[in-house]
Amino acid sequence: MRPAAAIPRRGRPATRRHPRMSSFLTRRDALCAALALTLSLSGCKIVRDADKAALDPSDPNNFDAKVYVETLWDRKAVPFFDDHAFPIAKVVQALAKDKDAAGNQYGRHAGGEGTPWTFAVRGTGVVKSLSTGSRHGEMVVEVAAAPHPLAVTLQVGPVIFGTAVRDSLPFIAFGDFVNQIQYAEVSRALNDRAAALAHTGLTPPPRVGATIEFIGAMTDPAMTGDTTVTAVRLRPQGASAK
């Protein structure tokens, strides 16, 4: 009896990738790589839970006014002043004629009826004095206006008095916060940012007699006793914004 012929053992067949599947994976990998590159170039930032808590006014134990202001300053506050500031001479003249009409046209009642009107304003003036010896730095400029030139006191800080910056911004309201303390902290943080930005226009300090351009926030002069503006931007006449 002849022995049965040995049956050769077959190895496990090699896995072959279907040409269409291979093409699909190649395209998918390329798309993923392109998406990752796009996100890195766009400055995509993952916000940590701690940062989210600092930005949430409804979480008073973790809310941080400085962090809150940092997220909106360059993105919303500065563009608002650049795009919506009215000529200060026009605003003051309108206030002298009809306060409520001027307020409705140019300003904002941050706290509703009974609270002072606030305005985003701009102007060009000649420097009459500059006082930066104290922490409450001020600059007085003379703006051409009819029938008489208008003297404007610019708060340049670093210490800023008042809440004009906060109250002139339409996207910040008391109802957004859980208490008055948060609302006041946001005002101080906004003032600090305004002073820091204004000081970029004070290097080197302008001389008396120089002509400067300014943008800032103003409370109704009838409420403060003079025309005082918290400066957000200061620059020599004709200089471009930084």
CB atoms within 10 A of CB 115: 15
What is the Cα–Cα distance from 76 to 88, expressed in whole angstroms?
Answer: 21
pLDDT, mean over the chain? 82
C-beta separation of 103 from 116 below 8 A:
no
pTM for the full model? 0.76
Mean pLDDT of 138-158: 94
Look at residue 230 and tell me whether its pLDDT is greater than 60.
yes
Look at residue 66 and tell me whether its pLDDT is greater than 70.
yes
Among the ranges given (105-109, 124-128, 164-168, 237-241), the one the predictor scored with the smallest mean pLDDT: 237-241
Mean pLDDT of 93-121: 91
- pLDDT for 193 equals 96
- pLDDT for 240 equals 64
- pLDDT for 29 equals 54
Domains and CATH numbers, the chain: 65-236 (2.40.50.420)
HEC assignment per residue over the chain: CCCCCCCCCCCCCCCCCCHHHHHHHHHHHHHHHHHHHHHHHCCCCCCCHHHHHHHCCCCCCCCCHHHHHHHHHHHHHHHHHHHHCEEHHHHHHHHHHCHHHHHHHHEEECCCCCCCEEEEEEEEEEEEEEECCCCEEEEEEEECCCCCCEEEEEEEEECCCCCHHHHHCCCCCHHHCCCHHHHHHHHHHHHHHHHHHHHHHHCCCCCCCCEEEEEEEEECHHHHCCCEEEEEEEEECCCCCC
- pLDDT for 223 equals 84
